[in-house]
Chains A and B, each alone.
Chain A
Amino acid sequence: EVQLVESGGVVVQPGGSLRLSCAASGFTFDDYAMHWVRQAPGKGLEWVSLISWDGGSTYYADSVKGRFTISRDNSKNSLYLQMNSLRAEDTALYYCAKDIGGSGIFGPFDIWGQGTMVTVSS
């Protein structure tokens, strides 16, 4: 079964740091780009970051650039998001998502995890 399972979400104080993880199974992880997408409570979807299949290319939304770092370990079939200098507006459910691949560009996302909740509050 193709599956993505996120972990690491907690309550953290403003200015704090956190590392999210996403464990992949059921597909050849290192064949695909991967993404992080977030959803604030009661709000819509916001793309956060992506990483190419080999980790050689990374991209970020302007809202997180310079604060968040995406990485992957293909030997462990795992995706990560290091989140620094957290703000209240980073409070959201964070999803990892698999790129559909095969089109020569990034997107869309055909497999999603169930998400991990990050709450930034004092």
Chain B
Amino acid sequence: EIVLTQSPGTLSLSPGERATLSCRASQSVSSSYLAWYQQKPGQAPRLLIYGASSRATGIPDRFSGSGSGTDFTLTISRLEPEDFAVYYCQQYGSSPRLTFGGGTKVEIK
């Protein structure tokens, strides 16, 4: 099973700042089958990025994904108030064994 480790656990930033979230896999993720989700309190997760760098439908272009192999990054170029949330990465390259990372909380500084 591929284990995903997200860092940092919590990121304290101010609106307008840049956020960089990391997701590291215990082994190479096939064909960059890596997705990112956003979850706000009391809500279901929302798909942001798939295929490591493709934005899902309706996702603003301030969200971008990059990386390959074992190291992946989600970048939020300028934080908006609605971006403060928990972010999860997920690998689906070893499908059907799908795994999530432990999450990174982006909080207001």
Residues of A within 8 A of B (CB): 35, 44-47, 50, 57, 59, 95, 100, 105-110, 112-115
Closest-CB distance, B69 to chain A (whole angstroms): 18
User: How many A-B contacts if CB must be within 8 Å?
Assistant: 59
Known: A105-B95, A106-B96, A107-B92. A113 touches B44 (CB 8 A): yes
| Contact A100 B96, beta carbon cutoff 8 Å | no
| Contact A108 B96, beta carbon cutoff 8 Å | no
**B contact residues, total (Cβ < 8 Å):** 25
Closest-CB distance, B43 to chain A (whole angstroms): 8
| Contact B33 A107, beta carbon cutoff 8 Å | yes
Closest-CB distance, A19 to chain B (whole angstroms): 21
B45 partner, pick from A57, A100, A106, A112, beta carbons under 8 A:
A112
Closest-CB distance, B33 to chain A (whole angstroms): 7
Residues of B within 8 A of A (CB): 33, 35, 37, 39, 43-47, 50, 56-57, 88, 90, 92-93, 95-103
Name the residue on B nearest A93 (C-beta): B44
The CA-CA distance from A92 to B50 in the complex, in Å, is: 26
